Amino acid sequence: MYVIYKNMISKNFNFPMFIWAKKIFPWHRSLSGYGTYKTLEFLKSLNKELKLKFFKSGEKCFDWNIPKEWLIRDAFIQHESGKKFCEIKKNNLHIVQYSQPINLRLKLNDLKKKLFYLKRRPKSIPYVTSYYKKNWGFCLSYNQFKTLPKGNFKVFIDSELKNGKVHYGEIFLKGKSKKEILFSTYVCHPSMANNEVSGPVVSIALSKYLSKFSRKKLKYSYRFIFIPETIGAIAYINKNLKKLKKNVICGFNLSCVGDGRAYSIISSRLGNTLADKALAASLKDKKKVKIYSFLERGSDERQFCSPGVDLPFCGFSRSKYHEYPEYHTSDDNLNIISQKNLEESFDVLKNIIDVFEKDLHPKFRFICEPKMDKRNLYESLSKDRNYLNKSLRDRMDFLAYADGNHTFFDIVKKCNFNLSEGIFIYDLLKKNKLLI
């Protein structure tokens, strides 16, 4: 099949996420087709555990059907003068995704009905799709649109819509417990950086990070899915509903995790699930944290939280989709993401993974306070105000709530720690055998 990529695995945890992003950015992803498959193969080259899977066109998934496979090879508009416009070889946003094949001559006025542009953002090509209704069209910047010459145009789309496959990728890392943490992201967006090469690269990095734990030592199981948005989530749920409902104790949708302007939580449907708590804990003390209600959802949390599925599942983004100006335009390019931002997003989720792998329900070993001075965790001489020492108190506070009922995320919230502080204190207490 298409292409196999050279292994780009880094040996330590400094995953070159931006380099990966740059690599896959130009490919023409969509719900299906060449670019999506190529992307999945690339991700597989980074983590061999990734399984390439697919749904078949026409397959019924609840209220939906899997669409046809779309193979796009070329598309442009050519003026009678010979001048070409909207060449997807220059930018694959120029075509309305899932456009039918066409070879037609049109006058400018007729052509205009099939053109999409953004007056509010005149230099940007918008991103337009028509997956489920036969259609075709081109997208271009408003400035370009205004320069279209009068006369006749040739419209050419070399595409194919066939009963085929909608591919996706899945990594399952089996731990001691069947209970799993689910990470979902999508591989259906062409040539946009924050939305959505950031999600796949952070996800694959997290999956690689988990290899630092030997498989036998993983406490929980972890699942990463790289799917087309909406239909992929619906089809995946359709296929795995029972298993998901049984095993998933926490899940996240990763989308737009590459820019640096904010940290966003899209709350679960009922709020206050383990996923909501985990993200809130991990984002404590970050600047510009936005917590959106489920009413402001927009990505696959729509499916994973829907009634009847109802997983403990949140969306995690930096700038949430509609909230950043470049969203769904050609300006969502590599300039608005960075290695630093990707690493920050990675760390937010890595800390959550660390908590699961350390102990979701830390439990204090003793009854009554421990004797801290004999472990050099407190001063033996009680003098002026040493009880006020914050780091000494923090240890006692962690223990006070480590009753086996509070999750790690509850504990840090009660104690007003951020997750890194909580992990630091946990490690110290664990090392001193104060936790079971």
Would you tell me which residues interact with a copy of itself (CB under 8 A)? 61-64, 96, 116, 118, 126, 128-133, 135, 230, 233-234, 237-238, 241, 269, 294-295, 298, 302-303, 305-310, 322, 328, 363-364, 366-371, 373-374, 380-385, 387-388, 393, 396-397, 399-404, 414-416
- Rounded to the nearest whole angstrom, what is the least distance from the CB of residue 371 to a copy of itself in the complex? 5
Amino acid identity, position 261: R
In whole angstroms, what is the distance from residue 241 CA to residue 256 CA? Answer: 26
Least Å distance, CB 189 to a copy of itself, is: 12
Cα–Cα distance measured from residue 183 to residue 170, given in angstroms and rounded to the nearest whole number: 10
- Shortest spacing between CB 62 and a copy of itself, in angstroms: 5
Q: Residue 430 burial by CB count (10 A; 0-12/13-18/19+): exposed, middle or buried?
A: middle
Measured CA to CA, the distance from residue 202 to residue 343 in angstroms comes to 8
Least gap, CB of 361 to a copy of itself (angstroms): 12
Backbone phi and psi for residue 425, each to the nearest 5 degrees, phi listed first? -65, -45
* CB 43 to a copy of itself: min, Å: 25
> In this complex, which beta carbon is closest to a copy of itself, that of residue 237 or of residue 348?
237
Nearer to a copy of itself, 192 or 309 (CB): 309
Closer residue to a copy of itself in complex, CB, 214/405? 405
Please, what's the largest Cα pairwise distance for the chain? Answer: 93
Whether residue 134 contacts residue 339, with contact meaning beta carbons closer than 8 Å, is answered with no
Instruction: In angstroms, give the least distance from the CB of 289 to a copy of itself.
Output: 22
Phi-psi region of 308 (alpha: psi -120 to 50; beta: other; left: phi over 0): left
CB of 252 within 8 A of CB of 315? yes
Instruction: Considering the complex, state which of residue 128 and residue 173 has its C-beta at the smaller distance from a copy of itself.
Output: 128
- Is 356 or 398 the residue whose CB approaches a copy of itself more closely? 398
Q: What are phi and psi of 296, to 5 degrees?
A: -100, 20
Backbone angles phi, psi at 404, to 5 degrees: 85, -15
Tokens of 227: 């799917």
Please say which residue, 1 or 368, places its beta carbon nearer to a copy of itself.
368
112 vs 371 by CB, closer to a copy of itself = 371
Q: Enter the DSSP assignment of 123.
A: T
Please tell me the distance from the alpha carbon of residue 257 to that of residue 235, in angstroms, as a whole number.
Answer: 24
In the complex, minimum distance from the CB of residue 238 to a copy of itself, in angstroms, rounded to a whole number = 7
CB of 261 to a copy of itself, least distance (A): 19
Q: Scan for tokens 């992803």, then name that residue.
A: 29
- Classify residue 126 by its DSSP letter: B
Closest of 172, 173, 176 to residue 360, by C-alpha? 176
Which of residues 62 and 209 has its CB atom nearest to a copy of itself in the complex? 62
Q: Specify the amino acid at residue 86.
A: C
